[in-house]
Amino acid sequence: MKRPRLVKAHLIATAIAVLTISTFFTSSLIAEILGQEPIIRTVKIGILYALPLLAVAMITLAVTGNKLAGNSRHPEVLRKQHRMKFITANGMMLVTLAVFLYYQATYQTINTVFLGAQLVELALGFTNLVLIGLNIKAGLKLAARKPKKSGQPTPVIL
């Protein structure tokens, strides 16, 4: 795949990941604030059903990011790769928590164990949003330093 298509795929995957994680985070937070079990249950079901979309986006993000980075030893690229390791580890814990919270909300009860797991999920989700945000900022900085072959500056995409 040529670089322009890799960049486009990377940007689309980033947007999907950020929007999905933000939706999960915001929905969970609002459901917990409202404290109504049917709403909490509905949010947890929705998150579980949307997990495959997030998984595909994150895999695409990692694959395209690695291809775009190539063998670069640029400090910004290395920092992005380092953050991705934490994002991946957090993601694995978040998937486990999403399944657990879905099960608890659907088949068990919403109790202090559920609330504790929910707080951990919110903390990890927020951490991933911050780390992905830092990677986006770094990506924009990297993109700005690479002029197009035609000599025109690279547009900044927000």
CA proximity to 105, closest of 157, 34, 52, 31? 31
- The torsion defined by the Cα of 105, 97, 130 and 5, in degrees rounded to 10, comes to -100
As a whole number of angstroms, the distance between CA 112 and CA 103 comes to 15
As a whole number of angstroms, the distance between CA 41 and CA 29 comes to 13
Residue 157: pLDDT band by 50, 70, 90 thresholds? low
pTM of the entire predicted model: 0.84
pLDDT given at position 144: 82
Residues 57-105 pLDDT 10s: 999 999 999 999 988 899 999 999 999 999 999 999 999 999 999 999 9
Query: Are 114 and 104 contacting, i.e. CB atoms less than 8 angstroms apart?
Result: yes
Residues 105-134 pLDDT 10s: 999 888 999 999 999 999 999 999 999 999
As a whole number of angstroms, the distance between CA 121 and CA 31 comes to 13
**What is the distance of C-alpha 77 from the center of its chain?**
18
**What is the distance of C-alpha 120 from the center of its chain?**
16
